[in-house]
Every structure is written in structure tokens, then in C-alpha cells.
Amino acid sequence: MKKLPLLLLLLITACSMIVEKPKVNLADVRFGGLDDDGVTIDFLLTVTNPNSFDLPLNGYSYTVHMMALPLARGESRDSLIFPGKTATDVLIPARLRYNDVLQILKRRPGLNDVPYQLTADLSVGTPIGDITVPVRKSGMLAVPEKYRPGTLLRKFGDFLKRN
């Protein structure tokens, strides 16, 4: 009877050495759109499953900082399968409210690029239970020309001149 727990521990340890964590790359960061409530920024991740078997994504959580301000936080319980020996894209759409965008503008009015940091945790299922795959990415988000403050101010000025 004493050998059963030891055998289970050895089995779990052996399985955990066999399962490799997926590799995550940030493929793209872009403006997803804007509506009455705010702006969507899309983070496109490419997840490569190095294992010969499929792994399910059981959900994720994320936090987005822009110019060191924590602006977006969320989670999803959407599921997805990462086929073995294959790269799969995962889209994380982060919502920023207009009040948060104004905080960014207050810090740098001539904005063309905005520094960001994405912190995410992917919950991936394995034969021995869920594992967390951390994602830590940072860079610069290019603001599309039509959304840059200078362009919007010029359009507003043109509107005032016509009326």
C-alpha cells in the first residue's frame, strides 16, 4: 500500500517531464477598431505546441499597460485546441475606454507610437492537469494616421473653417 503513492508520484513526475510547454510569440499588435465605448487593441499571439499530441487552451487572463498605466484587464474561458507540432494563432482583444485614452493623451499629446506591455497567462490542459503559460511582451503600438491627435485636430479645424 505504501508503494502506490510513490508509484503515482513517479508517474506524475515522468509525465511532467514529457509534456513541453507551448512557445508563445507576439505576431502582431494593431488597432482592432473603435466604437461608442472605446478602442479595441488586438494582440495576436502565435502559440506553437512542440508536443506530438494536442493541448487544449482552457482560457486566459491578461493585463495591458500603456505608458505605464494599467488600462485594460480581462479574461476569457474560450477554448481552443493547439494541435501537436503546429502553430496556432490566438487573438486577445483588449478594450480601452475613452477616459483611459485621454490619460495617455495627457501624457504625450504628439502621439504616433504608444509603448505597451502585455501580461497574459494562458491556461493549457495537459494529461496531468492544467499548466500556466506566461506571456510577457512589450513594444510600441503604431497609432494609425487617421487616429493620431494631430490628424484629428486638423480635421476639427477644417470643420470649423467650413462652418
DSSP string computed for 45-96? EEEEE-SSS-EEEEEEEEEEEETTEEEEEEEE---EEE-TTEEEEEEEEEEE
Using a 10 angstrom Cβ sphere, with 0-12 exposed, 13-18 middle and 19 or more buried, the burial of residue 27 is middle
This prediction's pTM = 0.80
Q: What is the CATH number of domain 18-145?
A: 2.60.40.10
What gap in Å lies between CA 52 and CA 62, rounded to an integer?
28
Task: Please give the chain's pLDDT, 163 residues, in tens.
Answer: 567 666 555 555 555 558 999 999 999 999 888 888 889 999 999 999 999 999 999 999 999 999 889 999 999 999 999 999 999 999 999 999 988 888 887 776 567 888 999 999 999 999 889 999 999 999 999 888 876 666 556 655 666 677 6
